[in-house]
Structure 1
Amino acid sequence: MAKQFPQIDEAHRKFIEEQHIFFTGSAGPEGRVNISPKGMDSLRVIGPNRIVWMNITGSGNETAGHLLESDRMTLMWCSFTTRPLILRCYGNARTLHIGDAGWDELAALFPAHRSARQIFDMSVDRVQTSCGYAVPFMDYRSERDTMQKWVDAKSDEDIRAYWVEKNQKTIDGKPTGVPV
């Protein structure tokens, strides 16, 4: 049975920190809803109602575009190991880019990454847990090194050029606000 909470408690934080993957959901007022898997060491719970996550360059940039139109965001974790559990955090988020006020402070929470594209700063207004009984068991093997190899083969200018080519618009053609 689903349970709802007004904030992230210590058990929720511990569960979040144990997971190797999380999913982010966002949508503008019109167009497609986006759900993306995220990994790496890219998320921090920094208070009972605040989560930040660093967005690394990828093939799309939907969340940033959606947040320009509607600041709603959902994050979800599910256990693939021992205890079946799904945890969702609902709230509103803002996007920070390199050079924005607050970027340096939040970026310092994460390992340095040359292709860090944004940081999303989420204010959580509801936490919900549910059973997760239908989530399969899966074993974690390791992080992929594909992203790091891609970054290592690029100059900073190459990464920015990729942003211009691939990350300026959502799949619905809306701007994402990524600086170039």
Structure 2
Amino acid sequence: MGKIHDRIDDRLRAFIGAQPVYFVATAPEQGGHVNVSPKGYSDTFTVINDSTVAYLDLDGSGVETIAHLRQNGRITIMFCAFSGPPNIVRLYGTGRVVVPEDPGFPELLARFGPHPGVRSIIVVDCDRIADSCGFSVPFMSYDQDRTLLDEWAQRKDSKAKRAYRAKNNRESIDGIPGLSPGETDPAVLHS
């Protein structure tokens, strides 16, 4: 039923690229709350090489993933088929947060579609790539992406984005540091 893969091959790349939603899971070093975030917009995820992936981190109501990654680096990304043959792919690994001030940010940003609310890019070095059956995952139809997050970000000027991030993204719900004061400035570059 399940299989461990030594790399992200063409079949896995195609499966990952065909999914309109994926899920990101992180947790604090000890205690605290496990976080699972659904992610949409198919142009916000990329396979960099056979064992490295990245996704565009857009403005959100919390900063759990960034805080957890900076504390311990542990992350799992899951894709599951809601149509077609049943399949679940999990990418386990160590993640890092790349912010607009980092030297590699512009090159990574070019890999994604245009989105106005970019906070960072999450890069994951995968140490376990596994798939499983997904026999119990229901069939669901994909209609279209919700555009609300992009629309929300477009309505905010730099001052409003900075204030929002300062209020909501400085620390996790468990008090783990998230974005530093300098990182609450909106990215000058857009994806």
Q: What residue in structure 1 maps to residue 162 of structure 2?
A: 160
Paired residues for 1:140-179 under 5 Å: 140-178=142-180, 179=183
1:155 CA displacement: 0.5
Is 1:29 matched with 2:29?
yes
Alignment identity in percent?
38
Unmatched 5+ stretches in structure 2: 185-191
Quote the offset at 1:12 in angstroms. Answer: 0.5
Question: 1:163 Cα shift?
Answer: 0.3
**108-117 or 136-145, which deviates more:** 108-117
2:117–2:150 Cα contact (<8 Å) kept: no
Measure, in 1, the Cα distance between the counterparts of 2:113 and 2:15: 21
* Helix, strand or coil at the partner of 1:143: coil
| 1:38 alignment partner in structure 2 | 39
Q: Is the 8 A contact 1:114 1:156 kept in 2?
A: no
- After TM superposition, the score normalised by the length of structure 1 is 0.97
Question: CA offset at residue 144 of structure 1?
Answer: 0.5
The amino acid that maps onto 1:9 is D
Preserved contact between residue 80 and residue 134 of structure 2 (Cα < 8 Å): yes
1:26-175 counterparts in 2 under 5 A?
A: 26-30=26-30, 31-40=32-41, 41-175=43-177
2: distance between equivalents of 1:62 and 1:83?
A: 32
1:8-19 equivalences under 5 Å are 8-19=8-19
Q: Normalising by structure 2, report the TM-score.
A: 0.91
**Could you tell which deviates more after superposition, 107-116 or 21-30?**
107-116
The alignment's C-alpha RMSD in Å is 1.0
Task: Tell me the distance in 2 between the aligned counterparts of 1:175 and 1:69.
Answer: 8
